Structure 1
Amino acid sequence: MKRDGPLTGIQVLDLSRVLAGPFCTMILGDLGADVIKVEAPGQGDETRGWGPPWAGETSAYYLSVNRNKRSMVLNLKTEQGQAILLDLVRHADILVENFKVGTLAKFGLPPKRLLEINPRLIVAEISGFGQNGPFSHKAGYDYMIQALSGLMSITGSPESGPMKVGVAIVDVLTGLFTATGILAALHERNSSGKGQILDVALFDASVASLVNVASNYLISGKVPQLLGNAHPNIAPYQLFQTRDQPIIIAVGNDTQFRRLAECLGCPWLAEDPRFAKNSARVVNRKALVQKLETILTKHTSSHWISLFEELNLPSAPIQTLDQVFSRSQVKERNLLVEMEHPTAGNISLVGSPLNFSRTPVSYRKYPPLLGEHTEEILREMGYSRMQVKEWEQAKVFSPNEKRSE
């Protein structure tokens, strides 16, 4: 029998938009939380218009991080809009926002006031540079944070120059860090009975994600350089050219290297003092790579991949997304989800990577239309249809927003 998700009964107010915040709240929604996406009148979440590509009238970008939510339109610049939000806060468990620092305070809704109204509330504030510090007033965007945090200085090759990661990875990592912090705060609340404020910055998340590369610098004092597809601490662990196309070889220890050398028909390489130990291979990386590529270019990528798989040597081709989503591994791991959408029809979404033995994730709600659930939520709060109509006329939310009947 299918059970409720681990966060069933938890209500989340999602005042965020674009990627980091919505990605975080989608994780919570997949885990069973009731997520109310509070959007501004008019356009709503900016990513609704970030296309092509489109599925019907909806952008693929918006669809990627907004399932398992209900959309409610509120004009927080109006007193009634603020009052409705405060009513929502009284019964919520979590509030996530990624406004520019100080915006909620301008609305008369600073986090401390929210906690006074609901002492059990967990407020997660996502910003570019955090709630304090000399850069706190600056807006933060993934691309600029990749540059400022040092991530771009280690991504790319000497030939290409600094490169950004192919996806907005800082936003994704920030969303993951925020979800982790929220779950920790929920756990702590079980014993203290108190909520708290969580301050997460894109800059901080990116710097923290430099892990071993940052540690290499802090310990050695040497500024890391562009390594392209090589690893700073392991060799051979990079992209290699074969006769037809490149492949990845990821040798993680000396035993694997000996197997690789034997497989390539040059066992003597594992006895050469320049290559016998990983530390020596890192120092003599250039010479090693030249020797390996001389051999690898004699045969095709499929030849080598097949041979390496037989010997349990870590290697892989570079797959395009059509190849990725055609793999049976994707199907077996439930990484492709089909949902019916009222304007986009049948849509395909990437599934959650979380697999629970008793309380599985679920896909209950398609990414909502703008304001689709405004009236539904207001009625749940106890407001009458007449009040809803009055607020509609007062532009607390726009009358042209789409709402569920």
Structure 2
Amino acid sequence: MTTAVNQDSPPRRAPLAGIRVLDLSRVLAGPWCTQNLADLGADVIKVERPKLGDDTRAWGPPFLKDQDGNDTTEAAYYLSTNRNKRSIEIDLASPEGIKLVKELAKHCDILVENFKVGGLKQYGLDYDSMKQEFPRLIYCSITGFGQTGPYAERPGYDFMIQGMGGLMSITGERDDLPGGGPQKAGVAVTDIITGMYASVAILAALQERNHSGLGQHLDIALLDCHVSMLANQNLNYMTTGKAPGRAGNAHQNVVPYQVFKTSDGFMIVAVGNDSQYRSFCGAIGIPEYATDPKFVTNRQRILHRDELIPVLEKIMATGKRDEWIAKLEAVGVPCGPIQTIDQVFDHPQVKAREIWKNIPHPTGGTSPTTASPMIFSATPVQYKRAAPLLGQHTEEILKELLGRTS
């Protein structure tokens, strides 16, 4: 039974309204996590080094332009992962700074940090030290390799983890083809997926705290998250003992599921089942290939991939991209163009979903941002703050939480 909603009732609060996060992280994995929490309504206090701040503030060009078209000090990279937060400058190397962090922690539910293992122990800000004073604090540590194991104390970076974690061994063209060799992803996917896993873990710990009344330590490692996200490729190896290799733009387990060159560009065909394959064959004019015993099932198409794909490539090259897309869409075959990022934001579906947002910015006038993909029917994400200037909210936070001005 559903209960009717009173249209005159007050607006519902954001999902994480009333939750406060002390963010000691920088660069990407940690800030991506805390931006998620901020988007969900948490008050995220970003602690930054005096005068320097988050490393990514300087990771440009490009930089945000001011209203006269001149560069501001805010790099696009930094803007991409720090919206809806407040910034405070604190020197963690000073006794006063350490004391201030602990005072702020009294008013926080969550602490997120991505220092090297043991890096905060010298300041008494590690989990074992903090949990004695703040037993309800959910303390999330994000590192390259985790808190345990022979690599625990080593630094970890997205690019090196993409190599160590196996992604580059399955990304790129085959060695026997032109351009063959390992490739990294075009986005720091290890950092992003780590930030996502950290977000999920924090939300789960918050829910558990509702029952136990206690916080806990979350040990989130780039390598762990990266290996986990390999998904079916891991199981391809784990069930056969054979490590999968690079397949370029083809799929290891589904055929045809790849990029095809047309007479005027490139497109993707993503045939996900045998019914779609039959429709595909009909649409491109080779219905006999739909019933050929060598190709009739996906299993057979994988076994005879090298015979089937050249035939499909030759046919697809004879037509124009958009004409092929229209034909395939008409019979329910998943397909689409390969677009540049400017074309992505000009796409009617992307426009309809309002993925490009603009937020007021103190030096840039407005700052563009990519909308959160988390869509709520009753408590939508609010885009209240652009990524903050360094120390922009220092006095505000000190006065609000600690009742002091410095």
**TM above 0.5, one fold?**
yes
For residue 22 of structure 1, the aligned residue among 31, 39, 44 is 31
* Cα distance in 2 between the residues matched to 1:89 and 1:42: 23
Cα deviations across residues 52-100 of structure 1 (Å, max 9, x unaligned)?
Answer: 0011221000000001100001111111111111111112100000011
Report what 1:108 is aligned to.
124
* Cα distance in 2 between the residues matched to 1:351 and 1:325: 12
In the alignment, is residue 53 of structure 1 matched against residue 73 of structure 2?
Answer: no
* Cα distance in 1 between the residues matched to 2:49 and 2:159: 25
Report what 1:225 is aligned to.
245
Post-superposition offset of 1:332: 2.2
Mapping for residues 189-204 of structure 1, pairs under 5 Å: 189-204=209-224
Post-superposition offset of 1:112: 1.8
Q: Is the 8 A contact 2:107 2:401 kept in 1?
A: no
* Cα distance in 2 between the residues matched to 1:150 and 1:212: 13
In the alignment, is residue 79 of structure 1 matched against residue 95 of structure 2?
Answer: yes
Cα deviations across residues 250-280 of structure 1 (Å, max 9, x unaligned)?
Answer: 0000001011111111111011111001011
Report what 2:135 is aligned to.
119
For residue 208 of structure 1, the aligned residue among 228, 241, 245 is 228
For residue 270 of structure 1, the aligned residue among 271, 290, 296 is 290
User: AA paired with 2:279?
Assistant: R
Report what 1:6 is aligned to.
15
Report what 1:323 is aligned to.
343
User: AA paired with 1:314?
Assistant: P
TM-score (norm 2): 0.93
Report what 1:97 is aligned to.
113
* Cα distance in 2 between the residues matched to 1:330 and 1:271: 38
Secondary structure of 1:156's counterpart equals coil
* Cα distance in 2 between the residues matched to 1:382 and 1:311: 64
Q: Is the 8 A contact 1:101 1:137 kept in 2?
A: yes
Post-superposition offset of 1:2: 4.7
Q: Is the 8 A contact 2:279 2:332 kept in 1?
A: no
Aligned length: 386
Post-superposition offset of 1:383: 4.1
Report what 1:151 is aligned to.
167
Q: Is the 8 A contact 2:268 2:338 kept in 1?
A: yes
* Cα distance in 2 between the residues matched to 1:249 and 1:210: 22
* Cα distance in 1 between the residues matched to 2:205 and 2:22: 16
Gaps of at least 5 residues in structure 1 are: 389-405
- Calculate the aligned-residue CA RMSD, in Å: 1.0
* Cα distance in 2 between the residues matched to 1:382 and 1:240: 61
Report what 1:397 is aligned to.
none
In the alignment, is residue 369 of structure 1 matched against residue 385 of structure 2?
Answer: no
User: AA paired with 1:287?
Assistant: E
Report what 1:249 is aligned to.
269
Post-superposition offset of 1:333: 1.6
Post-superposition offset of 1:4: 2.5
Report what 1:172 is aligned to.
192
- Give me the identity figure in percent: 51
User: AA paired with 2:168?
Assistant: M
Report what 2:83 is aligned to.
67
TM-score (norm 1): 0.94
Report what 1:134 is aligned to.
150
Q: Is the 8 A contact 1:91 1:118 kept in 2?
A: no
Post-superposition offset of 1:149: 0.3
Report what 1:289 is aligned to.
309
* Cα distance in 2 between the residues matched to 1:161 and 1:303: 33
Post-superposition offset of 1:304: 0.2
Secondary structure of 1:369's counterpart equals coil
Report what 1:186 is aligned to.
206
Gaps of at least 5 residues in structure 2 are: 1-9, 65-71
Post-superposition offset of 1:328: 2.5
List, as ranges, runs of 4+ consecutive aligned residues in structure 1 with deviation greater than 2 Å: 1-4, 381-385
